[in-house]
Structure 1
Amino acid sequence: MTERQQGGRAARAEARREAIVEAAMAEIAERGYRATTLAAVAERVGLTQPGVLHYFPSKKHLLIGVLEARDQWDTAALLTRSTDVRLSHLEQIVEFNAERPGIVQTFTALAAESTTGQHPAREYFTERYAAARVVFAELLRKEFGDRLPGGLTPEQAAPLLIAMLDGMQIQWLLAPDEVDMPAAFRNFVALLGAGDHVENRADRD
């Protein structure tokens, strides 16, 4: 097999993996992880169940693939790739999420389910939120120093920022015509005392 043929086969395999992940995201968003079956995912993507297992050896492997795909666009991933991310950049992430309800719905469903029993995503979300608290605290410290205008430390405010972002997504999923996520984020930043500060910085970026 030539190098070109190998490259074409690899590209097709990657495209098939992406299609399977997208199908799994849709199933999880509609049914939840526990009720999602490999057979349903296979039917949605036009494969047999053995065909899906060729790319993902188990349902747990498929779940990991879904979470990894989601994290390609996650805020934490953005923060690790930039040396000067500010609150104004988070608004861009919020705006982007507002354009992909399916992925947001999948993530929200998995996050809620992971709190129950021995869910296979529990460790992932536990570690994700622990890391996010650290990253968001560093971000807030860049903006405000060791104390926010209201007196909170960045470490105290970081969980509130995360809770606002995730909770806002739930409200938006339930009432997308009533909840403006980017506007809600800007309002929250204003509550932190950063409204003008962030807006001026965004104009310079």
Structure 2
Amino acid sequence: MQTTPPQSELELVNRAESLTGYSFAELAEEAGIAVPKDLRRDKGWVGQLIEAHLGAEAGSRPEQDFAHLGIELKTIPLSHIGKPLESTFVCVAPLTGIHGLTWQQSHVRQKLSKVLWVPVEGERELPISERHVGFPKLWTPSLEQETLLRADWEELMEMIATGRIHEINARHGEVMQIRPKAANSRALTDAYGASGKQIKTLPRGFYLRSHFTHSILLESQ
């Protein structure tokens, strides 16, 4: 299946809305994609399935999924009562070359400037093929939401810039946190330690906390 990129925001939203209620098995068959037995080794499979139907072009490139529209796509697995089951990955956190970097220039702000949220059933006891797609939501951060995101970004980036990366833990950040993001513990990258010398550490990523994404999904359209 080769879906051309949508030419407008309205076309993208209409495509996303047309997927509502379909099972992963139905969408995978139409796209010619095999359904995995579990998502432990295929964590990005759901996102790739939705991307295939919506015509996303970015792939693994560090830009918005629909860069020509300025829109990022995020699938979000929900529990049976409609709450996000996990935090949402935004982008990789820069650990070097960050002197002078501002919130306005940040990759996080670019990624979150406009997001198409596509909720999906995510309960682990539900077979992957039987999970369904929910109704999408196009979201732009409110002034209050962006203020919260900026405050977290600035706090976390200051800790990285001052060599305190190993002090960052799950308690830092009100709506957005930094967590290690690596396939295994051998995938190390460069950073700076407290003495200012270069060190090796696990790559980090920015993640939105689930209570924040839940509040987004509860907003009226």
TM over 0.5: no
Structure whose alpha-carbon radius of gyration is higher? 1
Higher relative CO (Cα under 8 Å, sequence separation at least 6) belongs to 2
Structure with more of its chain in strand, by fraction: 2
Higher helix proportion (structure 1 or 2): 1
